[in-house]
């Protein structure tokens, strides 16, 4: 769904002004106040080193290779685009799915790329776009994550089911019907060999391959994103305006306010594990690094023109990449940041 950023919200405000002889003055006054406030409070943010303005019809996913030398992105139209680092030059492009791409992951040796789409397909590709393995699942894939070292792929589906696959051959290891309605996010904890999912029913679950499935305390609104902490002791999620944090020992839920003004659509821990990269959507498109303990902003990046969709950092901590409904793919070199801009 196409949406507007927080900076576009004035359109809705202007429409509710009453008609009358002073209408024009009121419109100008509201516009002036809004512009002054927007300029006054907007903090400095680091611009990207690279912007590919029309990478996709609308961006949905981004992911770095294990070496950090490649970036893959996918979009609404089902295409995959590879980018060469450090400069972000475009490499191979191919039509991977007949609907949106909802997950990407490289193999450990960077020789293969795994993708999942709303067309229900899970596919392994060579980097020149040739399919070497393909599985058609029972329902559209709404989100996919993978850990090639653990040899696991986890998919969430539109019918509320979650499926665990072997990365190396796509053997189906388990299948659970956990949610009523679509799965919004899935996550893998490689340290503790645990998995998590959240759905449009508001429920959040954690399980292991040998243990029982545990339902965590429900967040105030649906969790749109999930990620385990590096040590595996906590599960983090993103919802409207707030960061969610579950303690996996006692299952306690902490809800932390953030500076995001919309749904925190995607989160990922930095290479150091000290910060959470985050991007938001619906009424916002901000890109931040957050403190996992306080949810305070530790680093600000230039926001997208339309709703944020996905965010990723490279394993060596050098790069940050994002994509959004504005169709662009943006890349930051975190070791050589540009001067912040308003």
Average pLDDT of the residues in 205-224: 95
What digits encode the pLDDT tens for the residues 162-189? 999 999 999 999 999 999 999 999 999 9
Q: In the chain, what are the domain boundaries?
A: 41-333
pLDDT > 90? residue 334: yes
What is the band of 135 on the pLDDT scale with cuts at 50, 70, 90? very high
Residue 237 predicted with pLDDT over 90: yes
Which one has a higher pLDDT value, 342 or 224? Answer: 224
221 pLDDT exceeds 60?
Answer: yes
* 40-44 own/partner pairs: CB under 8 Å, 24+ apart: 42/342, 43/300, 43/342, 44/300, 44/340, 44/341, 44/342
Q: Was domain 41-333 assigned CATH 3.30.450.40?
A: no
Check pLDDT > 80 for residue 246: yes
pLDDT in tens, 115-131: 999 999 999 999 999 99
pTM: 0.87
89-95, strands of its sheet edge to edge? 59-64, 70-75, 79-84, 89-95
Backbone angles phi, psi at 60, to 5 degrees: -125, -35
Residue of 154, 155, 71 lying closest to 106 (CA atoms): 71
Write the pLDDT tens digit of every residue in 255-298. Answer: 999 999 999 999 999 999 999 999 999 999 999 999 999 999 99
Confidence at residue 210, expressed as pLDDT on a 0 to 100 scale: 87
> 59-64 and 70-75 as β-strands: parallel, antiparallel, unpaired?
antiparallel
- The whole-number average pLDDT for the span 144-163 is 98
* Tens digits of residue pLDDT in 68-114: 999 999 999 999 999 999 999 999 999 999 999 999 999 999 999 99
Q: What is the pLDDT of residue 6?
A: 33
Task: Please provide residue 121's backbone torsions phi and psi, each rounded to the nearest 5 degrees.
Answer: -100, 140
Q: Which of 280, 281, 221 is nearest to 255 (CA)?
A: 221
Nearest alpha-carbon partner for 185 in 112, 232, 236? 236
Percent of the chain with pLDDT over 70: 86
Least confident of 10-24, 28-42, 322-336: 10-24
Nearest residue to 134 (alpha-carbon basis) of 108, 102, 169: 169
Place of tokens 């927080």: 6
């Amino acid at each position: 769904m196409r949406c507007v950023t927080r900076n576009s919200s004035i359109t809705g405000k202007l429409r509710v002004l009453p008609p009358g002889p002073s209408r024009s003055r009121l419109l100008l006054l509201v516009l002036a106040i809004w512009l002054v406030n927007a300029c006054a409070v907007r903090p400095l943010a680091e611009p990207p080193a690279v912007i590919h303005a029309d990478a996709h019809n609308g961006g949905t996913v981004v992911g770095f290779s294990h070496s950090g030398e490649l970036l893959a992105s996918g979009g609404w139209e089902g295409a995959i685009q590879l980018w060469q680092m450090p400069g972000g030059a475009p490499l191979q492009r191919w039509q991977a799915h007949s609907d949106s791409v909802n997950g990407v992951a490289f193999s450990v040796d960077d020789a293969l790329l795994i993708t999942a789409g709303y067309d229900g397909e899970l596919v392994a590709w060579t980097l020149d776009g040739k399919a070497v393995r393909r599985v058609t699942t029972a329902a559209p894939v709404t989100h996919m994550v993978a850990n090639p070292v653990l040899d696991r792929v986890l998919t969430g589906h539109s019918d509320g089911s979650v499926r665990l696959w072997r990365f190396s051959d796509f053997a189906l290891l388990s299948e659970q019907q956990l949610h009523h309605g679509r799965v919004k996010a899935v996550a893998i904890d490689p340290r503790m060999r645990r998995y998590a999912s959240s759905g449009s029913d508001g429920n959040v679950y954690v399980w292991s391959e040998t243990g029982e499935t545990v339902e965590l305390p429900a967040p105030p609104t649906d969790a749109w994103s999930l990620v385990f902490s590096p040590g595996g002791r906590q599960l983090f999620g993103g919802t409207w305006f707030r960061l969610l944090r579950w303690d996996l020992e006692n299952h306690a839920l902490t809800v932390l306010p953030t500076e995001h003004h919309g749904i925190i659509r995607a989160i990922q821990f930095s290479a150091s594990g000290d910060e959470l990269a985050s991007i938001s959507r619906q009424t916002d498109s901000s890109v931040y690094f957050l403190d996992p303990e306080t949810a305070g902003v530790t680093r600000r990046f230039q926001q997208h023109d339309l709703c944020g969709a996905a965010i990723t950092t490279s394993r060596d901590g050098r790069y940050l990449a994002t994509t959004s409904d504005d169709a662009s793919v943006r890349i930051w070199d975190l070791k050589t940041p540009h001067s912040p801009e308003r």
